[in-house]
Structure 1
């Protein structure tokens, strides 16, 4: 199910209107601050000073977008952020919610990591934001899932094993990471640091 151009523009407009009341987005997430502190020891930390782009493929709808989220001279890019919120919407309820910028930073860090290792594929998002009612109907979903707060995604990447993706996400130490090898995806969220296998 892919959105018509008109439906996409309408939803993007709704997402932008929703964001118009948003106070300033954070300049740095915890992951960025930690990376900046160790910049002299870790050349990978330099990614935080470059434009932050991610390529997302939403599996359920077939949508694929390259998003500019943050620019060194401009800070957070509202258009890119709004489009990210739209892409990570609850596709069943067709409901858009503000997505935690820290989660987008985690996605950017993971994608930067595997691009540096010559894997040129989009992040395939199998689940983003979910409203509470739909979340209740998903087998095994936590009652107060981070998905219901716009703070979690389930994802996979062609060219990486679930184990490799899990290791990358866990190495960030920026939130929760769930390992689902039987289902072929990894869950990441911006909650407390914790790891589990499902």
Structure 2
């Protein structure tokens, strides 16, 4: 697997845009978001059983398909560390080549959604982890952009399944109540995260 930096797709996730709050509230927003990220592990929501068949993922970067993973990441009641490390690399921030440990629950969300959609296609990842400095640059470039995002915590990914409609995928994921779901139908992708269940 090549570890050379490549250009990130131009589709930055609009879920980090907050039109309702003026810039004066952004500091308060950062504090609230930080507390929410800490508390999200306590949110009661449906979860995958800790037993069962192996969990498999097939993912690749939309604009850098050589950055891909296909295989088992969970088996016999535990996550497989080598697989998680590979997934962390695939979902890294491409422009900065910065890697962060992704929250394994995000992979459970992706796995469960693909199963419910009865899809064996490879996820195309538009955006995974986003480095803080790049998120800050995005916030400066877009007047309404939020200064916080679950992408920065390794808890979110913007994805599409080539054989499934983005609307149907977002609807199915929202019904599962495993995390946040954002539909960006015009751009053809869905934001999925393992934070508190919500939809937009």
| TM-score in terms of structure 1 length | 0.72
Tell me which residue corresponds to 1:79: 82
* Counterpart selection for 1:55 from 18, 42, 58: 58
Q: Which runs of 5+ in 2 are unaligned?
A: 5-40
Q: Aligned-pair distance for 1:142?
A: 2.9
- The count of residues paired between Structure 1 and Structure 2 equals 157
Q: Aligned-pair distance for 1:31?
A: 3.5
1:169 matched to 2:173? The reply is: yes
**Whole-angstrom CA distance in 2 between matches of 1:71 and 1:159:** 27
Q: Aligned-pair distance for 1:101?
A: 1.0
1:155 matched to 2:159? The reply is: yes
The alignment yields a C-alpha RMSD, in angstroms, of 2.3
- Show CA shifts across 1:114-142 (max 9, x none): 2x3xx331111100000111112334653
| TM-score in terms of structure 2 length | 0.71
Tell me which residue corresponds to 1:132: 132
CA contact (8 A) 1:130 1:147 kept: yes
Tell me which residue corresponds to 1:142: 146
What are the equivalent positions in structure 2 for 1:25-104 lying under 5 Å apart?
Answer: 31-32=46-47, 36=49, 49-62=52-65, 63-72=67-76, 75-104=78-107
**Whole-angstrom CA distance in 2 between matches of 1:141 and 1:94:** 23
Structure with more relative contact order (C-alpha pairs < 8 Å, separation 6 or more): 2
